Structure 1
Amino acid sequence: MERYPILEVDLKKMYTNTKIVTELCNTQGIKIAGIIKGFGGMVEGALEMEKGGCSQIGSSRIEQLKTVKEKGVAVPLLLVRIPMLCEIEDVVKYSDICLVSERNTLIELNNEAKKQNKKYGAVLMYDLGDLREGVFTRQELICLAEFVEYELDNVVLEGIGSNLSCYGSVAPTTKNLTELSEAASAIEEKLNRHLNIVSGGGTTTLPLLVRGGVPGKINHLRIGEGIINTQDLPLYWNTNIEGLDKDTFVLKAQIIELNEKPTHPIGELMVNAFGEYGHYEDRGIRRRAIVALGNQDVGDSSKLVPKDKNIIVLGASSDHTILDIEDCSRNYKLGDIIEFNVLYQAMLFTALSEYINKKFIQY
């Protein structure tokens, strides 16, 4: 008997989605780093991204890159979180290139690369207003580029990049990506050579690309969500890319209780298990199900999308998710399995949870 909950991974759909996105981007001269952190760095997924056309595989965790390197991923490996000083040795050993913004970090990378007798690549990050990582002025960026180019022997300046929308919710636009492009051109003029990489962000740049608004100088994107959580594109950014399948990852959970209960809690209300005040709509007595799955597993139950469109996710505690099934045409029974699509946060949590069994659909 299968043990639930199960995160089911369809490898053919992963490959197909990767191929669609990489080919779309390639038509505009853009190469893709396939980002694997969203599904916990599963080697099986990384291999499908490589096979589907990604020119690099990237993660924010050097441990994940170490694993995929040891399992045979052959394309260059990109660390997309600025390295901690405590992990520099592993960063140089298990990746080929990283995003970086600190001069001292570059010095440490250079020293370690010298010890390991290798050349290591750097993409300097430029903060275009999202206020996460990156130097904040073009002149500072140019100075940092010159420092790498002329003063470091074992770190190679591969290019520059920026992050958008992840912290400050700043959208990638033609305007801010033009600033990135112009900064790249200014650096190339100073160094009298071409930069290999001008990285214009991640999945949130895809809508701009589809509309034809990405400046021609941008030649690199870091895509994870747009391959593995394709339902996010129409849901959040009103963008549809033909052929993408939203069922790459499906979460399956088992019903452990069925009942009819009021829809508004009874008694004096206080904060819930997570220190939050809940909001409850009184809809009378309705049929509901509890599945053996909670916010410990998914992060936030509101990021679950039931495949049965008549199911409403009411909320969750650590280990229980409560569903309204009153309007369902199916007569659910104890032990039945409810299937969910997972938005990005739920994808991240379920992939990493040791309590969620993983099942790969081969092809």
Structure 2
Amino acid sequence: MGYNKTIMFPRLKINLKAIGENYLTIKRRCEPLGVDVVPVVKVVLGDENIVRVLKSLGARVIGDSRIRNIKNFSNVNVEKMLLRSPMLSEIEEVIEFSDISLNTEIEVIKHLSKVSSRKGRIHKVIVMVEVGELREGVMPEDVLFFVKKIMELSSIEFLGIGTNLTCLSGIIPTKENLGVLLKLKNLIEEHGIEVKVVSGGGSNLLPMIWRGKLPRFINQIRVGEGIFLGVEAINRKPLPGLRQDTFTLEAEVIEVKRKPSLPWGERTVDAFGEVPEFEDRGIRRRAILALGRQDVSLSGIIPLDKFEIIGASSDHMVIDVENCPHIKVGDIVSFKLNYAGVLFAMTSPFVEKVYIEE
């Protein structure tokens, strides 16, 4: 592809059709199991266009970790779930812009109760339980007491319990650690308190769902990677029926020259305090892209042609194009992205976002 003055680069092509198809495939797998799928849109910063597509396909609740992102789709008529425990400094906005939040601190829920009462609203809470990941969560032995305290508060609806696995410590969901939720559900209900929701995890549960092994007591999953990348969150492998052509990053070539592959002169660390290593491969054909670490994570992009990434500063990326003699100045090269790649590209204000349906 050559130069086109009407298009800005770098740009991220967002395939709404592929994203929507992934959501529908997961939803149809979960419906017979009685499992509600909550799309998690934090990797796309709560993009309103994407949220509208998901709502049109049947999503009733949309989740995000940041109130700022939830504000981005405040005009879409869906329930909004705040996935990160609310900060005390944002309680007013939590009540204003979200309907449900995941919680682990009774002091925070007390503040949610006060603001909800003042605003004449009911805020729903899910209590997160620690089952081994050691991120957020109430210890299992404290959950019943914790829930009883919630039941004393006005303007708060106890919705259920949930857990998070794999994201921080890499702990894989199993029948054993998820079973903690079933024991707690039964214990809480023995004390006359209904547990409407058991939110068992996210894309890390998709392998269980595909194999028909998801524990029956789980009735909600919070899914990001499965929808946006078509992979499960344990080994990042594609799942049958899901599409991986959801995002494509494009960048423009601004220099092509034959140069030595080994830098010369006295060396120090690079702009990021690192000491990059280079292999002497002789004179090679190299190109520079108008793309850098302020736009993407190098570990988050995969070339869609036979060129190699050599390195990048904040706004220049150097690639080896010895095996791509067709690449010239003004050409556009493309990359596939993983989760980190999508996250960085969506977050960078210097990356143009373009919506396609293919």
Indicate the residue corresponding to 2:183 in structure 1: 182
Alignment match of 2:134 (pick from 127, 131, 137): 131
Deviation at 1:74, TM superposition (A): 2.1
Q: 1:269 to 1:347 in 2, by over 3 A?
A: same
Question: Distance between the aligned counterparts of 1:208 and 1:280, measured in 2?
Answer: 43
Asked if structure 2 preserves the Cα contact closer than 8 Å seen for 1:301 and 1:321, the reply is no
Encode CA deviations 1:296-338: one digit per residue, 9 max, x unaligned: 111x212101122x2222221111112222223x611101001
Q: Is the 8 A contact 2:29 2:209 kept in 1?
A: no
Corresponding residue number in structure 1 for 2:218: 218
Q: Is the alpha carbon distance of 1:7 and 1:240 closer, same or farther for their aligned partners in structure 2, counting shifts above 3 Å?
A: closer
Distance in 1 (alpha carbons) for counterparts of 2:143 and 2:119: 27
Structure 2 equivalent of residue 342 of structure 1: 337
Measure, in 1, the Cα distance between the counterparts of 2:280 and 2:35: 51
Q: Identity of paired residues, percent?
A: 37
Deviations 1:50-105 (A, max 9, x none): 223333101111122223122xx222110001111111111111110000100100
More displaced stretch, 93-102 vs 56-65? 56-65
Task: Supply the distance in 1 between the matched residues of 2:198 and 2:281 (Cα, whole angstroms).
Answer: 53
1:198 aligns with 2:209: no
RMSD in angstroms over aligned alpha carbons? 1.8
Q: Which residue of 2 aligns with 1:208?
A: 208
The aligned counterpart of 1:358 is 353
Structure 1: state its 5+ residue gaps: none
1:323 aligned onto 2:319: yes
Aligned counterpart for 1:305 among listed residues 293, 302, 305: 302
CA distance in 2: counterparts of 1:81 and 1:262, whole angstroms: 49
Mapping for residues 152-301 of structure 1, pairs under 5 Å? 152-193=153-194, 195-230=195-230, 232-233=231-232, 237=235, 239-298=237-296, 300-301=297-298
User: Is the Cα contact below 8 Å between 1:302 and 1:315 reproduced in 2?
Assistant: no
Deviations 1:104-162 (A, max 9, x none): 000000001101111110000111111111112x121111111112x112111101111
Number of residue pairs aligned between Structure 1 and Structure 2: 353
Which residue among 146, 149, 152 is the counterpart of 1:147?
149
Q: 1:88 aligns with which of 82, 86, 91?
A: 91
Which residue pairs with 1:30 in the alignment? 35
What is the SS of the residue equivalent to 2:89?
helix
TM-score (norm 2): 0.93
Aligned-pair distance for 1:268? 4.1
Contact 2:27 2:36 survives alignment (8 Å): yes
Is residue 173–residue 208 contact of structure 1 (8 Å, CA) maintained in 2? no
Unaligned runs of 5+ in 2: none
Three-state SS of the structure 2 residue aligned to 1:296 is coil
Write out aligned runs for 1:70-81 (5 A).
Answer: 70=75, 73-81=76-84
Aligned to 1:19: 24
Write the distance in 2 (CA, Å) between the matches of 1:60 and 1:90: 13
**Contact persistence 2:82–2:101 (CA under 8 A):** yes
Q: Is the 8 A contact 1:302 1:313 kept in 2?
A: no
The residue type paired with residue 320 of structure 1 is H
TM-score by length of 1: 0.92
Task: Work out whether residues 299 and 340 of structure 2, in 8 Å CA contact, stay in contact via their aligned partners in 1.
Answer: no
Matched AA of 1:247: D
One-letter amino acid of the structure 2 residue matched with residue 243 of structure 1: G
Q: Which residue of 2 aligns with 1:8?
A: 13
